[in-house]
Amino acid sequence: MSETSWPPAGCALVTGGSRGIGAAIARRLAADGWPVAVNYRAGAEAAERVVAEIEAAGGRAVALAGDVSDPAAADALFEAAETHFGVPVLALVNNAGISRDNLSPSLTDDEWQAVIDTNLTAAFRFTRRALKGMMRARTGRIVNISSVVGLRANPGQSNYAAAKAGLIQFTRTAAVEVARRGVTINAVAPGWIDTDMTADVNRELLDAVPAKRAGTPEEVAACVGFLVSAQAGYVTGAVLTVDGGLSA
Amino acid sequence: MSVSKEQVQERVVEALASFGPDADTITPSATFEELDIDSLDLVELAQIVEDEYGVVLKGEDMKELKTVGDAVELITARAA
Ligand SMILES: NC(=O)c1ccc[n+]([C@@H]2O[C@H](COP(=O)([O-])OP(=O)(O)OC[C@H]3O[C@@H](n4cnc5c(N)ncnc54)[C@H](OP(=O)(O)O)[C@@H]3O)[C@@H](O)[C@H]2O)c1
């Protein structure tokens, strides 16, 4: 089935859109014609900068504060975005994520829980909330930002790996459940991308990456842009790695 | 909010018809199975009912429902 008009009459919500990969995704979706809600937790200034950049480029955006690990966040953010733009959220990118690295023998309950709550449980709650409107609209795009660490081991990140692997299997299962409603749910699994999250990582580790370099947030955003596009309507339950060959 | 059984019936038929079956096959005695209405459709029906009548239908409620009439009765009773 071909999509007659795209983007549809809806808006996009990008969690953790104030910095790094999320900011690049917000800019990308705005450039593709989506009104974009740029969520952030603490960095209001950074989020406003992303909004200003989008507006300067002729797009529409709004910055929305909210901690995705709060059980009430999904309802609050969807309502705020839908009220602001006057249309339902028909593209959701679950991008907000944190890492709390530690070796499993010394990993604390708090480190475990914080990463599961933010990287996995929040994506479930936001997806559940998004599906209400998308199922009724008979169209929608959800992209979950997983990680190559959800596919292969990385010592010191067992909590992060569990969350990101869980996110992949959640993505596949939910995708199959709603496929016949025209809603697609996919995961993107980035490898090493240059952002604040990887700023402190030893760059010698890049030797393990076949491409011998880190990726850029824009390279991840391009993949998300494709999965959100009309042309990707038959792609669902997929995991797209963007990792310079690391997991190949 | 109080709604009449006829209003609920009309809305349920409209919602179910949007899932595939012809509106004139959606009679009170028709079973969801006959109509090819599956669990995902019932989840969506529950959302519509919640948004429009403020009636929350849980998974267990939905499992009990066999016919269109069952659904209309339950929703009307809860909305009263
Ligand atoms: N960088 C990589 O190499 C890499 C690789 C694979 C996967 N990923 C994944 O890609 C996603 C983005 O990573 P990144 O490198 O761009 O991270 P980043 O530079 O650290 O940015 C994280 C973003 O998420 C927001 N955020 C964090 N916790 C939040 C919460 N509880 N509620 C709402 N927003 C929250 C931050 O907002 P504030 O600034 O306001 O806190 C910020 O906008 C994450 O899911 C990450 O796991 C990254």
**Domains of chain B, CATH where assigned:** 5-79 (1.10.1200.10)
* Domain contains A198: no
Q: What is the pLDDT of residue A24?
A: 98
Distance (Å) from CA A229 to ligand 1 centroid: 23
Instruction: Give percent of chain B above pLDDT 90.
Output: 84
Q: Which of B40, B64, B74 is nearest to A177 (CA)?
A: B40
Tokens of B41: 């459709």
Out of A34, A78, A112, A160, pick the active-site residue. A160
pTM of the model: 0.95
Number of domains observed in the structure of chain A: 1
* Domain contains A202: no
* Domain contains A197: no
Instruction: List, chain by chain if needed, residues with CB within 6 Å of any ligand 1 atom.
Output: A 15-16, 18-22, 39-43, 67-69, 95-98, 118, 145, 147, 190, 192-193, 195-198
Kindly report the three-state secondary structure assignment for every residue of chain B. Answer: CCCCHHHHHHHHHHHHHCCCCCHHHCCCCCEHHHHCCCHHHHHHHHHHHHHHHCCCCCHHHHHHCCEHHHHHHHHHHHHC
Q: What is the pLDDT of residue B21?
A: 94
* Domain contains A203: no
Domain of A75 in residue numbering reads as 10-191+221-242
**Cβ–Cβ of B47/A136 closer than 8 Å?**
yes
User: How confident is the model over A115-155, as pLDDT tens digits?
Assistant: 999 999 999 999 999 999 999 999 999 999 999 999 999 99
User: How confident is the model over A2-58, as pLDDT tens digits?
Assistant: 457 999 999 999 999 999 999 999 999 999 999 999 999 999 999 999 999 999 999
Cβ neighbours of B47 in A, within 8 Å: 132, 135-136
CATH number for position A98: 3.40.50.720
The answer to ipTM > 0.90 is no
User: How confident is the model over A184-219, as pLDDT tens digits?
Assistant: 999 999 999 999 999 988 888 899 999 999 999 999
Q: Which of A235, A233, A184 is nearest to A4 (CA)?
A: A233
Cβ neighbours of A135 in B, within 8 Å: 40, 44, 47
SS3 A140: strand
Q: What is the pLDDT of residue A203?
A: 85
Of chain B, the end-to-end C-alpha distance in Å amounts to 7
Average pLDDT (A86-109) is 98
Q: What is the pLDDT of residue A205?
A: 84
* Domain contains A209: no
Query: What burial letters (b/e) apply to A195-204, b meaning 16+ CB within 10 Å?
Result: bebbeeeeee
Q: What is the pLDDT of residue B80?
A: 81
Whether the pLDDT of residue B39 is over 60: the answer is: yes
Known catalytic membership, residue A40: no
Q: Which of A132, A136, A178 sits opposite B40 (nearest CB)?
A: A178
- Residue B68 identity: V
Average pLDDT (A71-78) is 98
Active site residues of B: 38
Q: What is the pLDDT of residue A1?
A: 45
Q: Which residue of A has its CA nearest to B50?
A: A132
Q: For chain B, what is the mean pLDDT?
A: 92
Question: Rounded to whole angstroms, how far apart are CA atoms A37 and A77?
Answer: 9
* Domain contains A248: no
